[in-house]
Each structure stands twice: as C-alpha cells, then as structure tokens.
Structure 1
Amino acid sequence: MALFKRRTVGKPGEWYYCLKHQKVEEGPECPAKDRFGPYGSREEAEHAMATARERNQEWENDPKWHDAPEDGPEDAPKGGSGA
C-alpha cells in the first residue's frame, strides 16, 4: 500500500501557472516543482510572473532581508581573529 497518493486531478477553482509550459492550468496538471499557485482566479494565475517580479523587487529593497550593509558590518572587529 502506498503511503502517498499521487494527486493528478485538481479541485475546480484552483488555478496554477506552469513554469515549464508557461501556461495557466485549472488544477495541478504539472508537478509542484514546475508551478506557482494555487491562485483564486484564472486572472491571478495569468499574472503570476509579474507578481513574482514585483515581490522579488520589494524583497530586494526591504532592509529586513539584508543582514549587513554591502561594505560589511560597522562594528565588526578589525584585525585579529578575536580568539
């Protein structure tokens, strides 16, 4: 007996964007590694790549996602190993 069933049929109303085929799917047709979603509507799924670009840009500009300035931490010890 299989521990996991392979889900091949999606629920009506679940929309995905397939990265491999670059198309919108109702229900998961392609493997999870190849898709974004689920989305609540076909229109949301159609804009999946634009949404991902916008979110990536927001995260890139969010200081919470950067641990230290590009020049390095200001209070880092200079010289020596500190041990």
Structure 2
Amino acid sequence: MALFKRPTVGKPGEWYYCLKHQTVEEGPECRAADRFGPYGTREEAAHAMETARERNQEWDTDPKWHDADAGKGKGAAEGE
C-alpha cells in the first residue's frame, strides 16, 4: 500500500470522461491516465472525444507548428 496515496474522490459538479469505459462520470472514478477532465458540466464531458478531435485538427493545421524549414534539419533554419 502506498504511503501517500492520493484520494480519487472528486468534488460534486466535476465531470470526467473515462477513456477506458467510454462513459461520463461525476468525480474521478477511474485513474487519471484513463480520463479527460474535469469538465464543468455533464454535457461537456459527454463531448470530450469530439472536443479532442477538434483541437487535434486545429493543432495539425496550425501554421506555427509547420515552418517552411521543417524537415530540413536543425542547421537549415540557422543557415548552416
């Protein structure tokens, strides 16, 4: 048994989406690595996967992460 085990009891009104069980839960019932959240409402938690897909799409198309020198190696951007 761990000496400093953190309680997994959440606050009322904190909602999570469990990736393992693919369900919405109030308060963390599953381990942190298996959940998204906390969300302010049950509805937000229910749409966690959709929100993640939208954010991933935004990040994949964000020009800040796709420089013109990408893929040319570290020295290419520095003129080496």
Shift of 1:8: 2.5
Q: How far apart, CA to CA, are the structure 2 residues paired with 1:69 and 1:48?
A: 34
Shift of 1:13: 0.4
- Which residue matches 1:15? 15
Percent identity of equivalent pairs: 75
Shift of 1:5: 3.3
| 1:54-74: CA deviation from partner (whole Å, max 9, x where unpaired) | 00000000011234556637x
Normalising by structure 2, we get a TM-score of 0.80
- Which residue matches 2:47? 47
SS of aligned partner of 2:9: coil
Shift of 1:42: 0.2
Change (3 A) 1:68 1:9: same
Deviates more, 1:59-68 or 1:25-34: 59-68
Q: Which has the larger radius of gyration?
A: 1
Report how many residues are paired: 76
Q: How far apart, CA to CA, are the structure 1 residues paired with 2:20 and 2:68?
A: 35
Q: How far apart, CA to CA, are the structure 2 residues paired with 1:23 and 1:62?
A: 30
1:56 aligns with 2:77: no
Q: How far apart, CA to CA, are the structure 1 residues paired with 2:72 and 2:54?
A: 27
